[in-house]
Structure 1
Amino acid sequence: MPRKTYITSMPDKTGAFLLASKIIAKHNGNIARVSYNKAVDLHTLFIDVEASEEALSEIAEELGTIGYINNKLSEVRVVMVNIKIPDVPGAVLPILKILDRYDINISYINSNSTNSDYQNFKMGLLIENPKIIKMVLDDISEVYQVDIAEYDDSEKNLDNTIFYIRLANEMQKLLQLSTETTMEFISESNRIMQRLQDKGENPDTVFDYIRRFAYFINKRQGINFKADIEKIKISDLVTLYSIEPPCGSNTYVLETQEELVLIDTGYAIYADEMFEVFSKLFINWENRIKRVYITHADVDHCGLLSKLEGASICLNKKSADSLKRQYMGVPDDREQNETSLGYSKLSRIISGYIPPNTDKFYIIDEDTPEEHNNLQFIGSFAVSDLEFEVFEGSGGHLRGEMVFVCRKYGIVFTGDILVNISGFTPERAEFNSLAPYLLRSVNTDSAKATEMRNQIISLAEEIGDANQKPCIICGGHGPISVISNGKLVSMNGVENVIL
């Protein structure tokens, strides 16, 4: 059943939600989710409705007719002013008449006596047109003394009437979003807030994490993009490069004379920066034959798939199914879980993710069981003299997760099943603390994820013993590693490449 989120702005009066509910019911809509928090925003209420596409359109039109839906993002500002008013009856009326003339609402008001002939009025003026601010203040100053006060974010009463509008304007400017995408950002932010508030989290903290998530990704573009690049000669014919961006997954490149084989591709937002890195690392990058393998279908691992022209995208059926769902505009495997839905959609918006064309897919496996508890062998591929076995995990991190294993040369690509957290720089550690808070867990099944980690560590140790040297672990994030006493540690002897 199609589902749509309506971001409504309702009057603060009895019966407002009842009226909206009647409209939805009239069109046979089912209300699947409602979120309203007066302490966050006085007027904004989120309603998820399930109905036919035609009914959803009719509901939107009727809610718009009564003024409950307004997708226009105004440049709303709260201007705090201190006004010195005579302590006599009716003295505030001239101020109210001025505000009425300019159609300005008051978001906050507080007054106190100064034991003199005057009172200090502190007022929050809700101004949608910044161009009239000076005119309003000039008119007030002709009557009474007025000063602009400092805005205090800690005083929640000052902005809880327009919180979502302010957040929408901020994110639209930061991320260069369309109005439609901005409204989706606000809706998914509310979805995360509602879920975490139910678990006892403070809404202010939740929105702070969302802001930090958006700013961190966005502000690491251009000259602020700093990637750590490691290089290892795996065999006489193959060289491995690890490119670790400021955030998002690593991209590994296996270079041979004939081709370049990429494993995972990071966030889409860093496409220009990554292509510049590729061009500097690999002679004739644009014309080289390329294959891409993904360890799993998360947005931060698949960002460049839609931008790598001419490259074959190699993956298993489960990952292909998830990416096809993205391409069709329906929830993918990560988004099937209500816990992950809001975060996944925000990740797409913030990183500018575009699902890849499914015509470019090359499917690795056949008849893989839907459910299995162990690493399941599903296929193989070669990169020159490196022979890789492909194993599918049980889905603890994400359905369709894969591990690529070369026993002869002792190298394993693990995706996010194994990550060397201790090898993060402080900046990357900060970023990687955001998702666990907003998601509560980056895994879809923590018990399965733990079991998969244990199985991969055992496999890597077995390979290391057979080769009489530590197995190289290429995790989804962090530096190239080896296993020491059951834990990942950064590998010694790796060449650091400076571009």
Structure 2
Amino acid sequence: MEREERFSFIARVPDEPGALHRVAAIITEFGLNITRAQYDQRIDRETVFFEVTGDPERCSQVLDHLDRAGLLQTSLPRSRILKLYVYLPHQAGALAAFLDTVRLGGANILFIDFDERGRHPERVTISLNLDQNGVVDDLLGQLSSAYKLEVVEYDPTGRHLDDTIFYVRFAQRVRELIGDEADDSFLLRFLHDINHTVQELMNRGRDPQEVFANVLSAGQTLRKTSDQGFYADVQQIVVSDQVTLFCFQMPCGGNVFLLKAGDELVLVDTGFGIYHDDILQMLARYGFTDLGQLKRVIITHADADHCGGSGLFAVPCYMHPGTLEVIRQANRAYGSRSEGSVLEEVYTTMINLFSGFTIPEDVHLFSSEPLGTVGPFPIVGEVRVGDLHFQVLEGLGGHMYAQTYLFCREAGIFFTADCVINFDSLTQARRDYSTLAVLLVTSVNVDSDLARTERQAILQIMTDLGTSRGQEERPGLICGGHGAVSVLDDHGRLIPYGAVTHYAAKE
């Protein structure tokens, strides 16, 4: 009995009748089943995405057959755009001779404008696509020896490529975000994933160009807000006789919390991996120059903006067993009713790539057996920091499977991860970035009904806690995964607690 597996590849077909059918016929000839095909001439006139199921050996034969027929895309040329004014002699065959030189020079013509009765009868305006640096120099040398010419524009990024090779252009924009070390096979797989998201969202009425723009915007914003563009909003709160809490709101991602208890430092969440060096510089500015005092990192859940930098800290990293599994599966919807969502899986791949996600090595897992409950939440562990005793609570899986919370009843502190957030405290820039995730996955919660149930339960716990605490005591602190550390007012609204100061890398 033949094994059935799923395979994906990208076909490169000429823009002519019957070309797409040739690919489908080859797939069918070898007994494979096409489970996904996506082609849209409005995006790219020659690129088709396929997923097939069938025997691995037969799939290998199909790919070989398509490759030999020139119908398989196996590389992504690093195109460069050269725009020239070339002045031709007024004689028969001059244009043909010029075009022949261009062809022999290995350039593809993207645009040409020539009119003997126009304003510049002797001038050809031409845009060329060249895939190697050396080709540019050689071609210019050949042309300049035969013609008077002017270089109008040279674009080594390929941003001005026309839409006949849209995915080549898109891949080059991705290269700018993740570095030139990404090989073509990796980028082709990434393009296949992004195309699957585009296909799904197009079926929901979304504009494909908007989806591509949102993907790039997610990566570009992370780059712009790292290094010299990095900043944070900061709260410093004395929460007990021995412990001071620092809340650092990242530009685009989840909060990073630091608990200082004497000579011991404990982190709750790490932010995106791309921010790691920026966070270290920020901590130094606040006096934390000796990270040898950092004893533990506690991770609330597996989203990249909360644990993407966890592998960069050389200390034990504590998390729920399910969180480790979500990281391993690279699918933020793992363990939820949305597990099969293409949008969730591809978004995880995308954001992990753009944000420099690093997998922790020294992992310590909380219990999978409940030690009791707080409200509807199982207690799966305990954490002591100075004179504070936190219960580790397992969420219900609304925002993400295995999301955990830290609750200290005595001190009145609840680390609520992404279940309870003071959205009113978010800056417009942070709201805009959060909106990108919503646009790409439709909801940041893998189960919105459960997420509402969890939020109501946490707010009720904190409301009851406030009632039981004396008037002279500090209000209960809600430390959300984003936004300011807040307290509940008499109307149940979240109000930022204490002073919020601003940190900027440039200052």
Q: Which runs of 5+ in 2 are unaligned?
A: none
Render the CA deviation track for 1:366-412: whole Å, top value 9, x for unaligned: 1699xxx9544444433232222333332221112222222221111
Which of 325, 331, 349 aligns to 1:345? It is: 349
Q: CA deviation at 1:275?
A: 3.0
Question: Are residues 271 and 24 of structure 1, via their aligned partners in 2, closer, same or farther at CA, if it must alter by over 3 Å?
Answer: farther
Question: Are residues 81 and 216 of structure 1, via their aligned partners in 2, closer, same or farther at CA, if it must alter by over 3 Å?
Answer: same
Give 2:416's aligned residue. Answer: 414
Give 2:496's aligned residue. Answer: 490
Mapped to 2, the partners of 1:116 and 1:240 lie a distance apart of: 71
Do 2:477 and 2:485's aligned partners in 1 also have CA atoms closer than 8 Å?
yes
1:274 matches 2:279: yes
Give 1:230's aligned residue. Answer: 235
Question: Are residues 253 and 117 of structure 1, via their aligned partners in 2, closer, same or farther at CA, if it must alter by over 3 Å?
Answer: closer
Give 1:254's aligned residue. Answer: 259
Do 1:35 and 1:45's aligned partners in 2 also have CA atoms closer than 8 Å?
yes
Q: CA deviation at 1:116?
A: 8.4
Which of 287, 291, 303 aligns to 1:286? It is: 291
Q: Which runs of 5+ in 1 are unaligned?
A: none
Task: Output the amino acid matched with 1:315.
Answer: M
Give 1:300's aligned residue. Answer: 305
Task: Output the amino acid matched with 1:185.
Answer: F
Give 1:426's aligned residue. Answer: 428
Question: Are residues 233 and 132 of structure 1, via their aligned partners in 2, closer, same or farther at CA, if it must alter by over 3 Å?
Answer: same
Give 2:358's aligned residue. Answer: 354
Mapped to 2, the partners of 1:498 and 1:123 lie a distance apart of: 46
Do 2:231 and 2:504's aligned partners in 1 also have CA atoms closer than 8 Å?
no
Which of 31, 35, 41 aligns to 2:34? It is: 31
Task: Output the amino acid matched with 1:384.
Answer: G
Task: Output the amino acid matched with 1:257.
Answer: G
1:186 matches 2:188: no
Q: Secondary structure at the match of 1:162?
A: helix
Q: CA deviation at 1:344?
A: 1.1
Question: Are residues 136 and 384 of structure 1, via their aligned partners in 2, closer, same or farther at CA, if it must alter by over 3 Å?
Answer: closer
Give 2:12's aligned residue. Answer: 9
Alignment of 1:373-452 (within 5 A): 374-452=376-454
Q: Secondary structure at the match of 2:168?
A: helix
Task: Output the amino acid matched with 1:21.
Answer: A
**Count of residue pairs brought into register by the alignment:** 489
Task: Output the amino acid matched with 2:463.
Answer: E
**TM-score, reference length from structure 2:** 0.83
Give 2:250's aligned residue. Answer: 245
Task: Output the amino acid matched with 2:97.
Answer: P
Task: Output the amino acid matched with 1:230.
Answer: Q
Render the CA deviation track for 1:279-320: whole Å, top value 9, x for unaligned: 554657433352222221112211122222231x32223223
Q: CA deviation at 1:8?
A: 3.0
Question: Are residues 431 and 137 of structure 1, via their aligned partners in 2, closer, same or farther at CA, if it must alter by over 3 Å?
Answer: same
Task: Output the amino acid matched with 2:247.
Answer: S
Mapped to 1, the partners of 2:344 and 2:425 lie a distance apart of: 26
The 10-residue stretch of structure 1 (472-481 or 282-291) with the greater mean CA deviation from structure 2: 282-291
Task: Output the amino acid matched with 1:225.
Answer: F
Q: CA deviation at 1:228?
A: 2.8
Q: CA deviation at 1:87?
A: 11
Which of 65, 68, 71 aligns to 1:68? It is: 71
Mapped to 2, the partners of 1:229 and 1:215 lie a distance apart of: 24
Mapped to 1, the partners of 2:144 and 2:386 lie a distance apart of: 79
Alignment of 1:322-333 (within 5 A): 322-326=326-330, 332=334
Q: CA deviation at 1:199?
A: 2.4
Mapped to 1, the partners of 2:364 and 2:210 lie a distance apart of: 41
Q: CA RMSD in A?
A: 3.7
Identity of aligned residues (%): 29
Task: Output the amino acid matched with 1:187.
Answer: H
Task: Output the amino acid matched with 1:262.
Answer: L
Give 1:20's aligned residue. Answer: 23
Do 1:246 and 1:428's aligned partners in 2 also have CA atoms closer than 8 Å?
yes
Q: Secondary structure at the match of 1:253?
A: strand
Mapped to 1, the partners of 2:160 and 2:502 lie a distance apart of: 52
Q: CA deviation at 1:60?
A: 4.2
